[in-house]
Amino acid sequence: MFEDKTLVCKECGKEFVFTAGEQEFYAARGFQNEPQRCKECRAARKNAAKAPREMFTGVCAKCGKEATVPFQPTTDRPIYCSECFAAMKQN
């Protein structure tokens, strides 16, 4: 029923494929317009609208290196650098 279509991105001018599966998805959701931007430009546009995440620094409770975390550290809970956190998660 649906066939792949090659479209041109209105943002970057690159050609991209609007697959039969994507067309089926659009039809099932009731979307009538084809996408005007390629996947990369859609993702960039979506991420540009998001506010940058505020990061906080502190000292890793395990190794003592500086750790950057996405929340305000408090004195009652330890924070860990990415290496120590990954090591703890594996165990």
Instruction: Sketch the domain layout of the chain as residue ranges.
Output: 5-49, 56-90
Give pLDDT, residue 51: 81
End-to-end CA distance of the chain: 50
Q: Tokens at residue 43, please? A: 């993702």
Give pLDDT, residue 68: 92
Distances (CA, A) of 24 to 16, 31, 36, 66, 91: 17, 10, 17, 49, 43
Q: Tokens at residue 35, please? A: 């996408």
Give pLDDT, residue 49: 80
CA 45 to chain centre: 11
pLDDT by residue for the chain (91 residues), tens only, comes to 899 999 999 999 999 999 999 999 999 999 999 999 999 999 999 988 888 889 999 999 999 999 999 999 988 899 999 999 999 888 8
Quote the CA–CA distance of 60 and 79 in Å, as a whole number.
5
